[in-house]
Amino acid sequence: MLVREDRLQLDDRTVPIADMMACGQTVVDKDRVARETKKWLERGQGKFRPLVMAHSGRFLIVSGLHHTQAAVDAGATEMRVQVMSDKQD
């Protein structure tokens, strides 16, 4: 899917973490993930929403891989995300 700047649409949604997958970056900074996991355990997800694109029934993580891994490490099964798509006319 090609998303053009003038047609960008972001929708907040809660999705199963099992349906999310890395897009591009697959290596994470373990220390950063450990810090984010601690934050998640103390106060939940907070304001941050990973940016994802829906593709073939899955959600490709465009931005937010460290936060997503921290959620997994904290035992979360769902996350609130921003789903990026092309506006439909």
Residues 78, 61 contacting (CB under 8 angstroms): no
Exposure of 39 in the CB half-sphere (CA atoms within 13 A): 16
The two tokens of residue 23 are 């897009």
What are the pLDDT digits (tens) for 39-53? 999 999 989 899 999
Work out the average pLDDT over 50-76: 93
User: Token pair 């006319």 is at which residue?
Assistant: 89
Q: Would you call 65 exposed, middle or buried from its count of C-beta atoms within 10 A (0-12, 13-18, 19+)?
A: buried
Domains and CATH numbers, the chain: 8-86 (3.90.1530.10)
The span from the CA of 21 to the CA of 61, in Å, is 6
Distance of CA 55 to the CA centre of its chain: 13
What are the pLDDT digits (tens) for 4-29? 667 778 889 999 999 999 887 777 89
Q: How much is the pTM?
A: 0.83
